[in-house]
Amino acid sequence: MVGVQTVDKEVLSRRTGEYQDWVEAFARNHDTPIEWAEKGVRKEDYVHRWLRSMVRAQRYGVYFIFKSMELGPSFRCTVPKYPTRDPHHRILAPQRTRFTHYYFYVRDETLGPIAIRVASFFPCQSTYYLNGHSFIEQELNRAGIGFRKNDNAFVAVADPAALQAAADRMSPALIRERLDYWTLLLGPKFSAKERARISLRRF
């Protein structure tokens, strides 16, 4: 918003439109499927065949994007009821409205399969879905340790101590580092000047 005299509905909507255009371009440039989510269809089941293809090809990155109209936090912009000294002054009030959210399905080299939901309207709230067992699976594969899983449960492992050690390596710092990476890559873009002027940060 740096350099904008009046932060009004049009400014906020333009920021949303720019991000939505970026997501569509990202999907085209990376040949990534992008679809509207259908009601009653479980997203994780629907995208599983694309995840299998990534695993077979030993590739990492975004393999599917869902678009979904959902409730999320946003801002309502209104003109003050009474005149103010600053003609550009506007009142921004938090609210919840329906707008487009993006679900990025990612195969991460460290965490395994994760999903990131990014709201396309400011403040662009992001939500993350991950499974600790996927991280452990990645660690055991890297170490060449045999195991068997039944859905989300480890039912056999060649080295139980290695299994426990892998679980212990999953720390908050490691999770934050990987999620920060994907948020920077896939989330809305802000210039260095914007980040400095209004102290933008992810938390």
Chain segment 6-20, per-residue pLDDT in tens: 666 787 788 899 999
| HSE-CB of 153 using CA atoms within 13 angstroms | 2
Q: Name the pTM for this structure.
A: 0.87
| Cβ pair 184, 178 in contact under 8 A | no
**3-state SS assignment for residue 43:** helix
| HSE-CB of 76 using CA atoms within 13 angstroms | 8
Q: Give the confidence band of 92 by pLDDT, cuts at 50, 70, 90.
A: confident
Q: Which residues, 6 or more positions from 43, have their beta carbon under 8 angstroms from its beta carbon?
A: 37, 66, 103, 105, 115
Where do the structural domains in the chain lie, given as residue ranges? 9-192
| Cβ pair 118, 102 in contact under 8 A | yes
